[in-house]
Amino acid sequence: MHRLIRLLLFSAILSPLLALAAEAAPEAKAAFDLRAFLAPFHTVTLHLPIGFVMMAAILEGYHFLRPSRPLRNAIGVVLAFSAVTAVIVVLLGIFRADGGGYEPETLEHHRWYGIAVGALTIVIALVHPLVFRTEGKKAGPALYRAMLLGDLVLLSVAGHGGGNLTHGSKYLTENAPGWVKEWVESSDQEGHAEGGAPAGGGEFATVIRPIFEKKCFQCHGPEKQKGDYRMDTVEGLFAAGESELDPIVKKSPMESYLIETITLPEDDDMAMPPDGKDRLTPEETLAVIRWIWDGAKTD
């Protein structure tokens, strides 16, 4: 047993050394980017501070009705976890924003609301023990509870902004009744026209653009442009992104990078839409190919 323990300890010490040696080897293909590795975990961890702040608010409400010292101590512990996880989520969010691919204005709003949530959560966690150190004072608890309520509001705004970045601005109304969608989205029509979207009734406006809007805008629309490629405007649709390859070559669908990506096997890393997203049907793919073959007209 002792020999096994020594072996495990030796392996635990040796493994990081071997990993460092492998990274430093001349033949290594690329340096390890820690920020890029950690960035996706923003999506995984962002629910933690939301849950902890919500839990603190619920416990605070219960404590207001039935106060007790053990419950007050529990609220302090929950707030401490809220602050720690908020800091982690903010840092991971900054890492993820560095990767690009998002609409700058929406990203900036989300960034600052997220930082505000983190800062306010830390302040609340620090203020809580000071406010309730002695009983009898009313101004301190009232201010603390107001800050906690404000934190919930900021969390809602920041969370909605993050949803817009990830799923597009219409993700909440995507499956809403028709009259709701018309009411919410009516203000977007002028924005589409100003952004270069066609207003006519040709094939592009009636067949091709709806395909792109349904299957592509989530990652290549107004809020998010993965690979620096935007498809909701005519100018962006024909402009090369990070690949520096022409996405659409008029009358040459097989030379168009867009056609290459949407016809790749589903398990290919370059296939679009990516794994987990709703891919184009064979009929939709043929419609896009035929549209490019006919000259990719947008009027």
Do 14 and 21 meet the contact criterion of CB atoms below 8 Å apart? no
d(C-alpha 197, C-alpha 152), whole Å: 37
- Average pLDDT (15-42) is 64
d(CA 201, CA 195): 17
12-41 average pLDDT score: 61
Taking Cα atoms as reference points, which of 116, 141, 117, 118 lies closest to residue 128?
Answer: 141
Q: What percent of the chain has pLDDT over 70?
A: 78
How far is it, in rounded angstroms, from Cα 117 to Cα 250? 48
Question: Are the CB atoms for 219 and 226 separated by under 8 Å?
Answer: yes
pLDDT of residue 2: 43
Pairwise pLDDT comparison (228 vs 2), residue with the higher score = 228
Reported pTM:
0.62
Contact 215, 273 (CB under 8 A): yes
Residue 220: phi and psi, rounded to 5, are -135, 45
Residue of 65 and 1 predicted with greater confidence: 65
| Alpha-carbon gap, residue 93 to 99, rounded angstroms | 10
Higher confidence at residue 172 or residue 129?
A: 129
If one compares 148 and 24, the residue with the highest pLDDT of the two is 148
3-state secondary structure 139-158: HHHHHHHHHHHHHHHHHHHH
Q: Which of 220, 254, 223, 224 is nearest to 240 (CA)?
A: 220
The structural domains of the chain, with segments of one domain joined by +, span 34-167, 178-293
Long-range contacts of 249-257 (CB under 8 A, 24+ apart): 249/292, 250/292, 250/295, 250/296, 251/292, 251/293, 251/294, 251/295, 251/296, 252/292, 253/288, 253/289, 253/292, 253/293, 256/292
Question: If we measure between CA atoms, which residue out of 140, 92, 143, 97 comes closest to residue 120?
Answer: 143
Is the distance from CB of 206 to CB of 291 less than 8 angstroms?
no
pLDDT of residue 114: 93
Give the pLDDT confidence score for residue 34 in this predicted structure. Answer: 87
Exposure string of 260-292, with b = 16+ CB inside 10 Å and e = fewer, is: bbbbeeeeeeebbbeeeeebbeeebbebbbebb
- Note the pLDDT tens digit of each residue in 164-208: 777 766 667 667 777 666 666 665 554 444 445 554 568 898 999
Q: What pLDDT, on a 0 to 100 scale, did the predictor assign at position 102?
A: 72
pLDDT above 80 (res 10): no
Residue, of 71 and 180, whose pLDDT is higher: 71
Q: Are 224 and 218 in contact (CB under 8 A)?
A: yes
DSSP assignments along 11-52, one per residue: HHHHHHHHHHHHHHSTT-SS---HHHHHTTHHHHHTHHHHHH
CA 286, CA 96: separation in Å to the nearest integer? 35
Q: What is the mean pLDDT of the chain?
A: 81
